[in-house]
Structure 1
Amino acid sequence: MKTIGEVAAELGIGAHVLRHWEDAGALLVPRDGNGYRVYDEAAVERARTVLTLRRVGLSLTEVAAAVSPTKSAAQVAVRAKIAVLRSEVRQRQRAIVFLQHAVECRHRYLDDCADCAAFVRGA
């Protein structure tokens, strides 16, 4: 069994973060008879999972859904995030193409370039 401070130190986060995750419903931590949080190995592993999900971009609401007790509910939340991330990747890829063209464009002003104008119009 570990204290909240020990788990926070192990994960490299503040104890207040663990409390916040619990308040938000993203982390369930059992309590002892005195009401203190007790982090057994399962609770520490759940905290690691929440941390990983946060680091890959899920909001606490999304994390709470992703750690849902029902697999189907968790999958819905994760699939929705995957769709958002894929959309963001496509947007970034288009931005890279545009910026690469802008760097290599023979026109002095981007407004003079039909390719640049097409990108601005969303073509």
Structure 2
Amino acid sequence: MKTIGEVATELGIEAHVLRHWEDAGALSVRRDGNGYRVYDDDAVEEARTVLKLRRVGLSLPEVIAAVSPTKSTAQAVVRAKIAALESEVAQRQQAITFLQHTVECRHRYLDDCPDCATFVREA
């Protein structure tokens, strides 16, 4: 059994984050006879899962849905996040392509370059 402080330190987060996850329903933690949170191995693993899902970009409501006991609900949330991330990657790749062109562009001003103007119109 671990305390909230021990788990927070192990995961590299603040204890208030664990409390917030619990309050939001993303994490369930047992209490001892004095009302203190006690984390067994399952609760620590659950917290680790929530942390990983948060770090890959899921909001707390999305995390709650992603760990839903209903597999179709969880899959729908994860698929939606994948689509959003793929869209973001495509947008960032377009930004990189545009910026690489501006670095290599032979025109003094971007407005003078037909390729730059094409990039601008695509946005």
Number of aligned positions between the proteins: 123
- What TM-score, normalized by structure 1, do the two folds share? 0.93
Unaligned runs of 5+ in 2: none
2:15 maps to amino acid: A
What one-letter code is carried by the residue in structure 1 that aligns with 2:107? H
Match of residue 75 from structure 2 = 75
- Residue of structure 1 in register with 2:40 after alignment: 40
Deviations 1:36-80 (A, max 9, x none): 322111110000001111111111111111111212111111111
Report the TM-score, using the length of structure 2 for normalisation.
0.93
Task: Specify the SS of the correspondent of 1:121.
Answer: helix
User: Which residue in the other structure is 2:96 paired with?
Assistant: 96
Structure 1 residues without counterparts, runs of 5 or longer: none
CA-to-aligned-CA distance 1:57-106 (integer Å, 9 cap, x gap): 11111111111121211111111111111000000000000000001111
Aligned partner of residue 69 in structure 1, secondary structure: coil
Q: Which residue of 2 aligns with 1:21?
A: 21
Amino acid at match of 2:86: R
What is the distance in 2 between the residues matched to 1:69 and 1:34? 30
1: CA distance between counterparts of 2:102 and 2:87?
Answer: 23
Paired-residue identity, %: 82
Residue 120 (str. 1) matches residue 120 (str. 2)? yes
SS in 1 for 2:26: coil
Q: Give the aligned CA root-mean-square deviation in angstroms.
A: 1.3
